Structure 1
Amino acid sequence: MPQPRIRHIAICVFSHQGKILVNAFPDAVKQQTLFRPLGGGIEFGEHSADAIVREIREELDLPIHDVRLLGTLESLFTYLGKPGHEFVQVYDAQFSDLRVYDQCGLEGHESNGDRIQAQWRDSESLRRDGVLVPEGLHEMLRSLSLLE
């Protein structure tokens, strides 16, 4: 069994008109839907902002610009019954293709081949339909007036 480790990840909310872009995934153990912005692991020698640009290109095949750091969260969590620990660099950015904002959602793929079905969600729909993760993200975005 591998030794538990702290992951360093970067995520991007892509705030637009009171909504953020998130991927939904179930936690069958907790019987709830979790919503997390797109992003992923920061590679050794890579700046976290560069990781966001790379991850979005890999996952959605879309260019982005105006990448800006919103803050950092430390996340201690349990997912599918297993403990996790992450340091999360939270970013906002803009899609270069403005037509993306008119779509209800975006399809893509994780590096392991899993399908991504990203959705634009506002604060109310996030609370009603599941939980926004990592913990503290909703409060951070509210304090920056990016979500209600």
Structure 2
Amino acid sequence: MAAAETSVREIHVAVAVIIRDGRVLIARRPDHVHQGGLLEFPGGKVEPGETVQAALVREIAEETGLSVPEASLEPVIGIRHDYGDKRVFLDVWETRAATGEPEGLEGQPVEWLSADHLRDEEFPAANRPIIRALRLPGQLAITGAATNVDEAITRLQAGLQTARPPLVVLRATELSGPAYLALAARAMPVCDSAGTALLVHGGTDVFNGTPGARGLHLPWREAARLSGRPVPADAWLGVSCHDAEELRHAAAIGADYATLGPVLPTASHPGAPALGWHAFARLVAGATLPVFALGGLSREDLVEARLQGAQGIAGISFWWPRG
């Protein structure tokens, strides 16, 4: 029995995302170790009685010679992964305050790379969600209600001018299929000129019918029908989720992120039960992809969302102009 328990014991690994001048510090694993030859983020096992922050300060100093103030560390994502021969919990934290010049003190090459140059196949499998988390913003903007295409475009232009969100999900459930495609076609150049990536909302037919779309956000009813990733690897894929099973399915079909909620009561769905932060944090802790908190949130909730394990917040009210 003891041997069986040991074989499935989870290893707590502290992972550091060290950012400087918009680039991330990356090392290459020695050939003789587990997953040898692949790229990795600095870090290592959390020792008994050690906090994850203390482990990161220690590991960063031992591996790279950099000094990191413990207070500068902020949570990014937590990932549980089963490699078959070992199970790990990657506890990922970010700092932008490392001082010194990095060296591979354990004989490993180190280099600074932009997040856009991090490739899934060059990292251990468990690192894919970390790469997604680094590329995704902290706020996912979702368009609000509009009675027609012209009104939606007018509000979109106003929202983009004031908020400048990096990603926008074009949600317009009140429009018919043809009207939505017409809206998406008009919204594309508007978003492009603002430097915003447009994600369409609906099924794969909507994505295929919108040339130039930067991604697809699936309502749960659409995601539930799928058994694999329906868009190319260079397009964003998101899923609207409400519980642990839906989060697992989103990860299984290769989603890059999920939204989860409602976290707090919302005006759009009065009386609908809200998760609350405690339940939200518990669900996110078991997820294997970045998760945006959704429902009843404002920009002021971003810090709390991050503390509870979220990628950030998603929603309408924090950016969409009122009618």
TM-score normalised by L of structure 2: 0.35
Task: Indicate the percent of aligned positions where both proteins have the same amino acid.
Answer: 23
Counterpart position of 2:81: 75
1:53 pairs with 2:80: no
2:110 to 111, 118, 124: 118
Deviation for aligned residue 1:128: 8.4
CA distance 1:125–1:33, change in 2 (3 Å): farther
CA distance 1:107–1:7, change in 2 (3 Å): same
Deviation for aligned residue 1:11: 0.8
Q: Find the aligned partners of 2:50 and 2:29 in 1 and give their Cα distance.
A: 27
Q: More displaced, 9-18 or 43-52?
A: 9-18
Deviation for aligned residue 1:21: 1.0
Conserved in 2, the CA contact under 8 Å of 1:35 and 1:126?
no
1:143 to 136, 139, 153: 136
Deviation for aligned residue 1:19: 2.0
Q: Give unpaired runs (5+ residues) of structure 2.
A: 139-323
1:19 corresponds to which letter in structure 2? R
CA distance 1:26–1:117, change in 2 (3 Å): closer
**Could you say which structure has the higher helix fraction?**
2
Counterpart position of 1:90: 92
1:106 pairs with 2:103: yes
Q: Give unpaired runs (5+ residues) of structure 1.
A: 110-114
Listed one character per residue, the Cα deviations across residues 109-139 of structure 1 (whole Å, up to 9, x for unaligned) are: 1xxxxx1222112234322872365231111
Deviation for aligned residue 1:141: 1.4
Q: Find the aligned partners of 1:135 and 1:27 in 2 and give their Cα distance.
A: 21
- 3-state SS of 1:14 partner: strand
Bigger CA radius of gyration: 2
Equivalent residues, number: 128
CA distance 1:62–1:135, change in 2 (3 Å): same
1:25 pairs with 2:29: yes
Deviation for aligned residue 1:51: 0.3
Deviation for aligned residue 1:15: 1.8
Listed one character per residue, the Cα deviations across residues 51-97 of structure 1 (whole Å, up to 9, x for unaligned) are: 0001112222331121222121112226xxxx221111101122123
Conserved in 2, the CA contact under 8 Å of 1:75 and 1:135?
no
Listed one character per residue, the Cα deviations across residues 6-42 of structure 1 (whole Å, up to 9, x for unaligned) are: 10010111123332111123779xx995221000000
Q: Which has the higher contact order (CA 8 A, sep 6+)?
A: 1
Deviation for aligned residue 1:43: 0.6
CA distance 1:129–1:77, change in 2 (3 Å): closer
- 3-state SS of 1:116 partner: coil
TM-score normalised by L of structure 1: 0.70
Q: Find the aligned partners of 1:40 and 1:86 in 2 and give their Cα distance.
A: 11
